[in-house]
Structure 1
Amino acid sequence: MPKEKPKEKPKENTSTMRVLQGLEHGSSSVRLQAALAAGTTPDTRFIDRLIERCAIEPEFHVREMLTWALTRHPSSTAVPYLVDELRSERAQARSQALHTLSKIGERQAWPAITRELLTDADDEVARSAWRAAVVLVPEDEEPELARALATQLGRGGRETRLSLSRALVALGEVAMPTLRAAMTDHDPGVRQHVIATERLLRNPDAGFDWAIEEAKRIVALGTTGQEE
């Protein structure tokens, strides 16, 4: 009886290989198309490569497409990879992983949003952590998150302060006791940031620049502005 021929190994899926190779291409437009393909036809083999690319991708629009592609994959598979990435020494890796977690919105990732990330020395990482935190935080932990965020009041330039104000505004009235307590801070920059954030909390349509100018005026006059 003739021996049965051994079965041939299945050939690597050429479209899968094309996507993986495209993610490493020197052209940003090719990388963008590869990320689009990875999200259009999700495959768990893409996940780690998408995350690796997030850590080093220089183009913002490509990073956004990489994040979108990751949101198209099962969260049960993607989230553990992203949580692991939060321990990376590369700031962009941490920032992009946090950004992607905020887009996925899987609350099981909440314990990974540590105080270390909320106070990260890199502004982009901290801003991403703030955005992720207000999306993922359980309701009963919102007051503690507000207190953690308040330690960053007065930090950085306009964009950093705006990001923090938006995070505190997203917490709503839960943040008010913490903001009022911060009004006693000796740093006028912190007090200005508190007042501007309260203005935005009361009137979300108000511009941040206007709120900051109002806050500077109030601090200069030596009032809290809470009665206005």
Structure 2
Amino acid sequence: MLIGEVARRSGVSTRMLRHYDSLGLVRPTGRTVGGYREYSAEDIRRIFHVESLRSLGLSLRDIGRALEDPAFAPAELVGDLIRRTEDRLRREQELLDRLRAVDASSPFGWQEVLRVVELLRGLSSPSAARRQQAVLAPAEDVPVPTELLAEAVLAESDPNVAGALRWALARAGGDGVASLAAGLAAANVETRRRAVLALAEIAGDEATAVLAGALGDPDPAVRGPAALAAGTRGVPAAVPTLVGMVVEGTNDVEAAEVLGALAQDLAAADRITTALGDELAAHPADPAVRIRLTQALVELPAPLAEDLLRRLTHDDDRAVAAIASALVTARSRQ
């Protein structure tokens, strides 16, 4: 079979067939009287073998080795191909993410595109200082996609860079809430915690609602910051977690202050007083817990905590009684 017919039947161009011949990869078995290449059935089968291996991403050199060396073991080469393909796919995914970020900014000109690309490059830098600079650099009136900032803050481990990203998100308003809310569904606890910390700095009912939803998170590292932020915004559902933080000694001073602020609302005041009283009754032999609960009571409006504090002045634990007495005395002088 002549080269033109082989090309038509195999789909391999005559130019590529000549290239295979020059490399010694597929050499036609015979020649016509006129000197034209003539391919046998075995030659054509070899062409299809070459094309099959090319479809896997093998180089022509590797294909030659595979076809000529009977001892050639494909496992290592295939493993290498897998790694190279995974690297290529990762790079292409990064490019796709970058293009989507540029598209999300709705650029009106190349200046806007360049600004977003510059930000993307900065945020991917291994240097924390460079990432922070990318966030804080003058925006030149170019809007930055809030989705990009939200994704960055969910992945950022450096506290200074994370703070800059949260600041930038807060300036952008509530546009990043949806992306941060998605972060609360992550399996990684740290990602969920970062989402809560960012939401805490965004004003508005939407962010408050998402923070309230985070109160049900199974991990206290997420639930605690959510309770502090939601409680500060007047969400009564934060009370159980805040009381639990006082009991556990986790940010207990901040939790007590937020409980005091919530107690300004009479609807929540009785609930808070009852919860603190129940915890005092539940920990009769734990002085450290009782001291923290006693100190939390002083944050509440005077009429609410007065009875509990006076009872605690006679507590069996001397330290608790002394603290309660001091607090009662201090309040009576106000």
TM-score by length of 1: 0.71
Match of 1:43 in 2: 143
Q: Structure 1 residues 147, 28: closer, same or farther in 2, change over 3 A?
A: closer
Distance of 2:230 and 2:139 partners within structure 1: 25
Instruction: State whether structure 2 residue 128 is matched by structure 1 residue 28.
Output: yes
Return the match for 2:279 from 179, 182, 206: 182
Q: Report the CA distance between 1:29 and its aligned residue.
A: 1.2
Match of 1:164 in 2: 255
Instruction: State whether structure 2 residue 246 is matched by structure 1 residue 150.
Output: no
Q: Report the CA distance between 1:110 and its aligned residue.
A: 3.2
Distance of 1:86 and 1:167 partners within structure 2: 23
Q: Structure 1 residues 128, 38: closer, same or farther in 2, change over 3 A?
A: farther
Instruction: State whether structure 2 residue 191 is matched by structure 1 residue 93.
Output: yes
Greater RCO structure (CA 8 Å; 6+ sep): 1
Q: Structure 1 residues 169, 10: closer, same or farther in 2, change over 3 A?
A: same
Instruction: State whether structure 2 residue 171 is matched by structure 1 residue 58.
Output: no
**Letter matched to residue 173 of structure 2:** P
Instruction: State whether structure 2 residue 116 is matched by structure 1 residue 16.
Output: yes
Q: Structure 1 residues 150, 55: closer, same or farther in 2, change over 3 A?
A: same
State the secondary structure of the residue aligned to 1:103.
coil
Tell me if structure 2 keeps the 8 A contact 1:118–1:149: no
Q: Report the CA distance between 1:134 and its aligned residue.
A: 1.5
Tell me if structure 2 keeps the 8 A contact 1:169–1:201: yes
- 1:46-77, Cα deviation, whole Å (9 max, x unpaired): x22222222232221111100001011131x2
State the secondary structure of the residue aligned to 1:104.
coil
Structure 1 unaligned regions, length at least 5: 1-8, 204-214
Structure 2 unaligned regions, length at least 5: 1-107, 303-311, 329-334
Tell me if structure 2 keeps the 8 A contact 1:183–1:191: yes
Q: Structure 1 residues 219, 109: closer, same or farther in 2, change over 3 A?
A: farther
Tell me if structure 2 keeps the 8 A contact 1:109–1:136: no
Return the match for 2:231 from 134, 144, 149: 134
Q: Report the CA distance between 1:219 and its aligned residue.
A: 6.4
Distance of 1:119 and 1:161 partners within structure 2: 19
TM-score by length of 2: 0.50
**Letter matched to residue 23 of structure 1:** L
Match of 1:211 in 2: none
State the secondary structure of the residue aligned to 2:166.
helix
Q: Structure 1 residues 114, 72: closer, same or farther in 2, change over 3 A?
A: closer
Instruction: State whether structure 2 residue 324 is matched by structure 1 residue 225.
Output: yes
- 1:102-159, Cα deviation, whole Å (9 max, x unpaired): 2112123333335763664343x23321222123345xxx2x43244324432155xx
Distance of 1:176 and 1:108 partners within structure 2: 29
Match of 1:197 in 2: 296
Q: Structure 1 residues 38, 198: closer, same or farther in 2, change over 3 A?
A: farther
State the secondary structure of the residue aligned to 2:282.
coil
Tell me if structure 2 keeps the 8 A contact 1:120–1:126: yes
- 1:5-41, Cα deviation, whole Å (9 max, x unpaired): xxxx965711111011101111111111111138775
Q: Structure 1 residues 184, 170: closer, same or farther in 2, change over 3 A?
A: same
Distance of 2:201 and 2:179 partners within structure 1: 15
Q: Report the CA distance between 1:97 and its aligned residue.
A: 1.6
State the secondary structure of the residue aligned to 2:125.
coil
**Letter matched to residue 295 of structure 2:** A
